[in-house]
Each structure stands twice: as C-alpha cells, then as structure tokens.
C-alpha cells in the first residue's frame, strides 16, 4: 500500500462508509455512530478523496452505492471484520498468557525441586498454569533470551549482561557410587583425596558439573583426567551400576531416582557447591504470574532445602 494513503486512512472512515452504505441514510448512520451529520459527511468526503472515486450517490431523498462503492463495500467490511478479529484474538491470547508461566530449568531442578514447589504454588494460585522445559545451563539461558521462557533456574553459564541472576539454592558436590562400594560403607566424612586412583566418570565439558571442578586446586588426578567422560546422566549411571567406577555430582543431581542402589555421600576438603540462580531477562520484566512464582520460590527456598538431608542443599536466596 502507498504509504501516503496508509497515513491518511483511518478505521473511523471505513466505519463511516460501511454504516452509510448499510443504513442508506446519512442521518441514520450518524445516529448509529453517535456523531453529528456534518462530521459524518466530512469523513465520507475525505474518504472518497483518498480512494479517488465517488463511492456514494447522494440525492435529497436517498443515498446509494455507486458501482465503485458496490465493489468496495465487501472489501471495507472485511477490513473492519479482520481488525476486530485481530483485536479479539490478541486480547484472548493475552488473557491466556496472563495466567501461564514458562520455565527453563536444569534436569535436576525439574526432578528434585519444582514438582513439589509447583504443587504448593497451585494451592494458592490454582488458575496459573506452569509449563516446564528442562535443558542444560547453556540451553536454559538461550530459552530465556529467545523469549521461550519467562525465567529459568540454573547455575550461571555465561554471566550475560542481558540476564539478571538472583541466588536461589546451592547443593554440595558429593560422591556417587554403588551401595556396595567400599567408600559407600566407609564411616566418617569423605574427602576428594579418597577418590584418588579410582575409576572416575567425568561429565563432558559442556555441562555445569564439569565447570564446578575445572581449575579447583588439590583435586586428585583421577577426577581431573577421568577414565570415562559422558554427556548424559543415563550414560553415567550405566557405567557406575555395571562396574566399580564412581563419579561426583551436586546433591540435587544424584541419580538414585534412576537406580536406588546408587548412593550419594558429601565430599569435603574442599567443599564445593553448585549455586543455582533464578535467571530473568534484564530488559523484559516477567509477567505478574511469573513474578509471583519467582517470589514464591524465594520465600520457599529454606523450606525446599530442608527436604534434603545432612545440609547438602541450602538456601542462598535470603541474601537477595
């Protein structure tokens, strides 16, 4: 469409033309539109000037459509109907999204933290629907930046200036091994040195777990140069449950839900924590529903941490 024409047109002019055509009278159309007859006449005149041809034939007794007007009327009616439909659809979608939340989270958070948190939140906000998508740390941030997720829960991956990070929970790194392994039965605290010379399964470099141990001084060579490297928890579990290999994971990522015979034991000297963040887009405020759930999670962080034994999971959101 010619931009000059587009700038000159208005929906009021379309509506005026359609109303006069349907009513067959300027006076009746003016009443229908709740405007004065002179104002209506001026609007029609301006509209015909823009179109460039007469659309209405006027006599002292009646108003009828010209041949151009007969051709133009159904198109004008469709434009008005399409605009109204678009507005109604947009309003409906906005109303639906007002009570919808999309969250991107690490798999361990999806399994260990959110199910009960969502149930508790639904008890006080039953109209809010929550969609959860699990991903690795890089993927969580990407979903938020693309607008696919309102917010996310993950350890910080990139420290992007386009994202805001609020501390939420932290979970301690610990040994994962079979229940019949020597270290599983050992009394007293375990240290990283106890993993020396063991067959160790490390996580791939593209995982947050690998980042936790990279660059840490004093860890045994078996951990820093693992015998096996895997990308998925399923592969890791397969190696451990079918041999003497061990690994180290954050407490929430302990895969005993996949195999109850696997055990988690906290590691010290040094004590390492994974810090989980509530991540939001810096320049796009969360919806009221999402903001409400974020505040709920912060308020519930202490209660969430208490559901895990031996202080291996703790709240860090109270510092916000």
* Pair 43, 131 in one domain: no
Residue 117 is part of a domain; what is its CATH number? 3.40.190.290
Domain end: 44, 71, 96, which one? Answer: 96
Contact 255, 236 (CB under 8 A): yes
* Pair 32, 107 in one domain: no
* Pair 82, 181 in one domain: no
Domain that holds residue 247: 103-320
SS3 10: coil
* Pair 53, 172 in one domain: no
pLDDT at residue number 214: 86
Contact 247, 230 (CB under 8 A): no
Contact 197, 271 (CB under 8 A): no
Is pTM beyond 0.75? Reply is: no
* Pair 134, 273 in one domain: yes
First to last CA, the chain: 53
* Pair 212, 271 in one domain: yes
* Pair 73, 176 in one domain: no
Contact 202, 235 (CB under 8 A): no
Instruction: Locate the DSSP E strands across the chain.
Output: 56-58, 63-65, 100-105, 129-134, 151-155, 163-178, 190-191, 201-203, 228-230, 247-250, 262-268, 273-281, 313-315
**Burial of residue 238 (number of CB atoms within 10 Å: 0-12, 13-18, 19+):** middle
* Pair 53, 196 in one domain: no
Contact 132, 103 (CB under 8 A): yes
Domain end: 96, 126, 148, which one? Answer: 96
How far apart are the C-alpha atoms of 76 and 307, rounded to whole Å?
Answer: 63
Contact 83, 12 (CB under 8 A): no
* Pair 81, 112 in one domain: no
* Pair 227, 265 in one domain: yes
Domain end: 72, 96, 120, which one? Answer: 96
Count of the separate structural domains present in the chain: 2
* Pair 190, 296 in one domain: yes
* Pair 129, 251 in one domain: yes
Pairing of strands 262-268, 190-191: parallel
Biggest alpha carbon–alpha carbon distance for the chain: 106
pLDDT at residue number 319: 43
- What is the full per-residue pLDDT of the chain (320 aa) written as tens digits? 555 666 778 899 999 999 999 999 999 989 999 999 999 999 999 999 999 999 999 887 789 999 999 999 999 999 999 999 998 888 777 766 678 999 999 999 999 999 999 999 999 999 999 999 999 999 999 999 999 999 999 999 998 999 999 999 999 999 999 999 999 999 999 999 999 999 999 999 888 888 889 879 889 999 999 999 999 999 999 999 988 899 999 999 999 888 889 999 999 999 999 999 999 999 988 889 999 999 999 999 999 999 887 788 999 865 44
Contact 55, 47 (CB under 8 A): yes
Residue 38 is part of a domain; what is its CATH number? 1.10.10.10
């Amino acid at each position: 469409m010619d931009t000059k024409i587009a700038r000159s047109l208005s929906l009021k002019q379309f509506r005026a033309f359609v109303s006069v055509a349907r009513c067959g009278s300027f006076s009746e159309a003016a009443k229908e539109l709740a405007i004065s007859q002179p104002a209506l006449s001026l609007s029609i005149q301006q509209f015909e000037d823009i179109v460039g041809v007469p659309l209405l034939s006027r006599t002292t007794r009646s108003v009828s459509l010209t041949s151009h007007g007969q051709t133009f009327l159904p198109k004008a009616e469709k434009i008005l109907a399409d605009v109204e439909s678009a507005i109604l659809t947009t309003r409906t979608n906005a109303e639906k999204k007002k009570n919808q939340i999309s969250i991107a989270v690490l798999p361990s958070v999806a399994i260990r933290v959110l199910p009960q948190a969502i149930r508790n939140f639904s008890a006080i906000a039953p109209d809010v629907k929550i969609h959860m998508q699990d991903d690795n740390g890089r993927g969580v941030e990407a979903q938020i930046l693309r607008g696919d997720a309102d917010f996310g829960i993950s350890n910080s991956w990139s420290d992007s200036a386009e994202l805001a990070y609020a501390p939420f929970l932290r979970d301690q790194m610990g040994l994962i091994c079979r229940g019949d392994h020597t270290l599983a039965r050992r009394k007293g605290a375990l240290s990283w040195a106890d993993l020396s010379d063991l067959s160790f399964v490390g996580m791939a470099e593209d995982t947050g777990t690998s980042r936790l141990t990279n660059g840490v001084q004093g860890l045994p060579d078996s951990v820093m140069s693992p015998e096996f490297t895997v990308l998925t928890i399923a592969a890791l579990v397969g190696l451990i449950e079918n041999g003497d290999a061990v690994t180290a994971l954050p407490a929430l990522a302990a895969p005993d839900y996949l195999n109850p015979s696997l055990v988690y034991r906290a590691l010290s000297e040094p004590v390492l924590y994974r810090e989980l963040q509530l991540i939001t887009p810096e320049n796009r405020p969360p919806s009221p529903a999402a903001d409400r759930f974020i505040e709920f999670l912060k308020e519930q962080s202490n209660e969430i941490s208490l559901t895990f034994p031996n202080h291996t999971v703790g709240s860090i959101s109270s510092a916000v």
